[in-house]
Structure 1
Amino acid sequence: MAERIKWAVAALIAAGGLWGFYAIGDKPLVVRLGVLLGAFAVAAAVMWFTQAGRDFVVFARESWEEAKRVVWPSRKETLQTTGVVFVFVFVMAVFMWAVDSGLLWVTQKLLGQGS
């Protein structure tokens, strides 16, 4: 039950920050963003004390570590792969145009409407 209360308090704080951002529309943007980000920071702090919040932090850390282990392609590999994709798309577009034109021609000849 305490977890749900913490969730509700965090949601209300975040919603209050969002409401405050629009409620003080006549103030400078820096002040409005301060209210919004401040409320979100307080809501995140409240969520930190829930089990779901702690699980999320563990998940985020593990995801960050996993992203570090990924072998990203080099610039050359990326450009080559992009080039192959562009060529394939172009070839498929020409093929689809040829099939469409051929079927149009056949249909017009069968219906007797072609020139």
Structure 2
Amino acid sequence: MIDKIKLALSLLLLALGIAGFYLFEDKAMVVRILAILAGIVASVAVAWTTAQGKEALGFVNESIAEAKRVVWPTRQETIQTTFAVMVLVIIMAIFLALVDVSFAYMVQLIMGRGA
């Protein structure tokens, strides 16, 4: 039950941060943005003390560990793949342009409007 109260408080703090943005309408934009950031930080701080927050933190840590295990392509592989994609896009553009021109010619021919 206490976790539900904390989550409700977290949502309330987030809503207060957003409301602060509109309440400080006559203040500088920096103050308005700081109101939102303060609401977000307070909301996250309270949410992390709940069981769901601890699970989310564990998930984030596992995701970071998984991202570190990813084998990223080398610069050479990236350049080669980019080049292959660009060539394929150019070929497809030419093909689709030819199909478009052919269909336009056929429609004009069928409609009897010249060609």
TM-score (ref. length: structure 1): 0.87
CA distance in structure 2 between the aligned counterparts of 1:114 and 1:4, rounded to whole angstroms? 74
1:62-94 C-alpha deviation (Å, 9 max, x unpaired): 000011111111222212211111111111011
The aligned counterpart of 1:82 is 82
Which ranges of structure 1 fall in alignment gaps of 5 or more residues?
none
1:3 alignment counterpart: 3
Q: Deviations over 1:43-71 (max 9, x none)?
A: 11110121111110000000000111111
- TM-score for the superposition, normalised by structure 2: 0.87
Measure, in 2, the Cα distance between the counterparts of 1:26 and 1:111: 65
CA RMSD, 1 decimal: 1.7
State the partner residue of 1:14: 14
User: Percent identity at matched positions?
Assistant: 43
Q: How does 1:15-54 map to 2 (within 5 A)?
A: 15-54=15-54
Q: How far 1:28 sits from its partner (Å)?
A: 3.3
Q: Partners of 1:30 and 1:83 in 2: how far apart?
A: 44
